[in-house]
Amino acid sequence: MLAAPLSSLESPSFGVQMDFSSSTEAKDMGLYVSFESWTRKRKIVSIGTNTGAEKLPFQDWHHFKEAFTPEIIARAASECGHSVHTCIDPFGGSGTTALACQFLGISPTTIEVNPYLADLIEAKLQSYDADDLALDLSRIVRATSGRCGRLERFTGLPPTFIEAEGMERWVFDAAIAERIACHLDAIEALERPHHQRLFRILLGGMLIAVSNVVVNGKGRRYRGSWRSRETQPRSVDELFQSRAQNAITEIHQYRFRRHCGYTLLRGDCLTQIPQALGADLAVFSPPYPNSFDYTDVYNVELWMLGYLSSPDSNRVLRTSTLCSHVQIKRDFGPPPTGSRRLSLALGKLRKVRTELWSPWIPDMVGGYFHDMQKALSLLHGKLNTCGELWAVVGDSRYAGVRIPVAAILADLAPVLGYRVLKLEPFRSMRSSAQQGGRCELDETLLVLQKNT
């Protein structure tokens, strides 16, 4: 890569100036940033988790605990029995598959139901001019210096979000919320929609850090010391600026990817897969049937950044996600009949229904496999001849009843027109990030091949 060194000069008026103008156009010379220069040949514990691995550029724009390692996409592309030009991920998350595909020279299609995460994916895949971004960052810094934001923009948010008279607990101190509002106003005043999206995402990725809460697999809870924490309003400005400068630097350094295009489909993959083009490979990790609702995990970002505007929009989003949780009342599809393992597990779950923390769990587990069977069937229709499907899936357990997800999907695969090539449990038997990291549950790589 022949990127020019980044010069970062301080401007007295608004503090940011980044100059990329002297960069050599490496792309014109046929030089690309390799996949390995992005992943730096780092050591990974297992292909299913990023735990312990060195953080990669782009991947900390929003820390996404459940992101799998990009190395699995490289492995799938090289071990797949044929050359791979196109790849689909119907559960996009933070966009690992699509971004890895760009570095590998593969045309990616990604589907994501959560609009904040869809924007995170698109912000990573988009091409930008770093000079233009730096100019827009300067505009934001200028527009936010010494100005106040409008707290009214947060009217309509859930009542505990912003500090107000008479409240006992709140997610954001009023002074912090004011700085966030000021930045959102400045971002929305930018001319280019893709710049707005990038800066909004970078602001989104730091919201929890300046809030009074922490979020993990079990949901949101207040920090132990939140009342005495006293986050300074100026830390919003400082953090945003440093995050934006880092992101622009990464965008500039890694701009010459082998494939610059992408297709992003927003919405439920069960309705979006039919809109996708054909693919040689599918690589994905769906939600696991562990009652973990991604809408909850990203709720702060969804509301603060304006992706949700009413309880109804929140409910609509939750019902569009895969049946992997029981947080809302919804119709669960009937379980497929082609797996004895599934029938046995459901029978045991129904017997202990009254011991479960939600009586809907057996129906949710049945609905999960209904949805997954539909997703596998729709993907079958999109995969090219001999196309392969690589899925990282995780088991669940309720009241001692284990749900062996990979084995059940492997049972269902032949009827859907697939041959099972691999069922590879990861050596690490620690429970997955999606399971909150406690009891021991398998995560498994399942590889299927479309029958000719």
CA dist 428 and 48 (Å) reads 9
Q: Does 96 bind ligand SAM (CB under 6 A)?
A: yes
Q: How far is the CB of 167 from ligand SAM (least distance, A)?
A: 30
> By CB under 6 A, how many residues form the interface with ligand SAM?
23
Q: How far is the CB of 120 from ligand SAM (least distance, A)?
A: 9
In the complex with ligand SAM, the residue whose CB is nearer, 111 or 300, is 111
Angle, helices 130-144 vs 174-188, to 10°: value is: 130
CA 61, chain centre distance (Å): 11
Q: Does 287 bind ligand SAM (CB under 6 A)?
A: yes
Angle, helices 405-412 vs 361-382, to 10°: value is: 50
Q: Does 100 bind ligand SAM (CB under 6 A)?
A: no
CA dist 351 and 358 (Å) reads 13
**Among positions 322, 346, 376, 448, the unique one binding ligand SAM when judged by CB under 6 A:** 322
**Which segment (214-222, 230-238, 279-287, 424-432) binds ligand SAM by CB under 6 A?**
279-287
Stretch 67-86: interaction string toward ligand SAM, x if CB under 6 A: xx------------------
| Residues within window 239-278 making contact with ligand SAM, judged by CB under 6 A | 268-270
- Residue 337 is classified by DSSP as S
Stretch 186-225: interaction string toward ligand SAM, x if CB under 6 A: ----------------------------------------
Return the beta strands (E) in 117-212 as ranges.
none
**Alpha-carbon radius of gyration of the chain:** 23
> C-alpha distances in angstroms, 333 versus 184, 287, 368, 373?
40, 16, 8, 11
**Among positions 71, 112, 136, 250, the unique one binding ligand SAM when judged by CB under 6 A:** 112
Q: Does 111 bind ligand SAM (CB under 6 A)?
A: yes
CA dist 107 and 261 (Å) reads 7
Q: How far is the CB of 227 from ligand SAM (least distance, A)?
A: 33
Q: How far is the CB of 325 from ligand SAM (least distance, A)?
A: 10
Contacts of 79 (CB under 8 A, 6+ apart): none
Contacts of 83 (CB under 8 A, 6+ apart): 280
**Which segment (63-71, 147-155, 226-234, 417-425) binds ligand SAM by CB under 6 A?**
63-71
Q: How far is the CB of 443 from ligand SAM (least distance, A)?
A: 11
Q: Does 39 bind ligand SAM (CB under 6 A)?
A: no
CA dist 104 and 262 (Å) reads 13
- H-helix or E-strand spanning residue 299: helix 299-304
CB-CB neighbours of 52 under 10 Å: 10
CA dist 429 and 427 (Å) reads 6
Q: Does 64 bind ligand SAM (CB under 6 A)?
A: yes
Q: How far is the CB of 269 from ligand SAM (least distance, A)?
A: 4
| Beta pairing, strands 86-89 & 418-425 | unpaired
Contact residues toward ligand SAM (CB under 6 A) are 64, 66-68, 90-91, 93-94, 96, 111-114, 117, 268-270, 285-287, 294, 321-322
